[in-house]
Structure 1
Amino acid sequence: MLIANPIYDVVFKYLMEDAKIAKIMLSSITGENITKLSFLPQEFTTEIDTQSVKKTHKTGLTVYRLDFSAQIQTPEGQKQVIIELQKAKFPTDIIRFRRYLGEQFNDPRNIISKKINKRVRKIGVPIISVYFLGHKLDHTTASAIKVSRQYQDLITNEIIETRESFIESLTLDSYVIQIPYLTQQRRTELEILLSVFDQNNATDVEHHILNVNEAEFPEKYRSIIRKLQQAIQSPEIKKQMQLEDGIIDELQGMDREIEELSVLVEQVKQENEQVKQENEEVKQHAEKERQRADQLSKEKLQTLLRMRAAGLPDADICAFLNINPGELEQMTNFSNDE
């Protein structure tokens, strides 16, 4: 079955803005029993600007973001969390991730009142971050990574099973999907689900279309496949995929230019450092020569004084010191000044 490639922002948005599909996707990735999922206001969600390629440089096209409010069923009961879903294309997008997290922690809408030990307190809603990366991490080749918090008693080294609102409000669990490391292996249901992002299934040079076998997917994932199949029928989505190709090519070209300029700047920096070092060496050499000349002048002056004291004629003194009568007069005047 042919499906639109969800690595594209426009397709990813088309897929994940379906609440039922988003719930299936996020439940499968986090392993949480999400009973209710709703979209939060998307003031910061990146949109593709179809009017001007140049304008997209101001919107941060390389990151697509969706925020959800979720109810999760836990052994202790229902828990409200914020799920922040982001898809990025370049390693440099990490700065935007940090900024978005800061916005979530600072948002007063993410503060709730909760009764704890018979007292009502204001606490931060726990945040779960899910990252879809179109690039590779530096050291880890795992396609799906869970970064989970663990409470541990530092004295006894025992694991603490209970959860504290204070800690939950300030820390978060994260899930990272490295799309380039998705392979043909289908060992778990999660791997089967994530195979819709496997770029090895591309059928065209542009990687707009992927070919998947619907029979390999459990029934609960079939709606995702069908949604992506519908996407390739939309002329507007196809148009925006082509636009995104152009923008990404331009951004990659800019990255290459920046890298080349960085290399040039480093070369100039090294050359300037070398010139600076050479100038310092010349300066030190000149200072040594000056000191040496001063020392020789003092020695000549002392010799002159001794020869004058011995009553030797000026002609013999000039011949001995290898100086002319004018230099002898200057040295004589200098000694008188001293």
Structure 2
Amino acid sequence: MAQSDRLGSAIDGTNLGFGAGVVVDKSILRDVAEAAGVSLRTASRVLNEDPKVAVDTRARVQQVMRDLKYTPDSMARSLRAGTDTAVAMVVESIADPFFSAMVEAVERAPSNSGKSVLVASTHGDAARERDVVEQMLSRRVSGMLLAPTAGDHSWLRTDTPLVLVDRAAPGLDADVVGIDDEAATADAVDHLVEHGHRRIAYVSDHPLVPTSRARLAGYRRAMTAHGLDVDPPLVHAECPDPSSAAEATRNLLSTNAPPTALLSAATRCSLGVVPTLHALGRTDMALVCFGDFAMADLLQPGITVVDHSAEAVGAAAANRLAERIAHPGIPVSRLHVPVRLIPRGSGELRP
């Protein structure tokens, strides 16, 4: 079974994370020694964490390594044969239930048997994403799974096999494994309309993320198809965390013409929406949540969800990456994992 290496400060460049016993190419290490004004032997001792090296000397050598962007992995590259046994996985946040479940699925995937899975979070920050990706690539991983942030990714040019998960990235021609977000959201709206609702509120997260844009488009398309107005006060598409989603829910309920149903289009939003409805005693409001989550089936009423199965996406992405590693020349593809709407009670309430 794969083991997960949850990278911390070493991956974002705040320290070098050197381990003992590192062997490097002497010609490369010589550059470091010369720039730091020390002998080749001293530079090697610093790299191997010899405690006898003076503190100021150690700091000077390590600073040169940072400045020259030398890491043990990149220095040892010329001595390595074959491909590393690790794959990288870069997601928005491993604290997000969707991505944590996806990471678990990737780790369990048979295609990753015997491999380590190096995991890092971008927190939705494009600059951090670039730093993390470049650090991962410097470790000479055999492949990478990336849930990209918003924005252009034409900067990412690599021969390392790459598969995008959950969403595509502008400027990057790569395999994508996810779901049909627009169609899945439209189906959720259809379900609420079939149960008599016409004023359907919408709560979602980052409007710049491709999945969020697609879900909002699906909501608007379905509302229009049913001849329903998309009332701007009913749309809260900028709720990046549970607290902002909770505030949006309170605002929706306090309007003169509150909705009779609510669609939460992101798991992190649902973690704010659901407790707020219960706290306000408004469990009579119809609710459909995008993404299943813990306790959703135990609440009263049970929460109707669009199950976009992070586990299925993760497993499919791991398999596609294994194919890409084995056959680098295969055509780029986009795979949509099937979704299902699970009726549990909240989405079947009538106005």
Q: TM-score range by the shorter chain?
A: under 0.3
Question: Taking structure 2 as the reference length, what is the TM-score of the superposition?
Answer: 0.22
Q: Which has the higher strand share?
A: 1
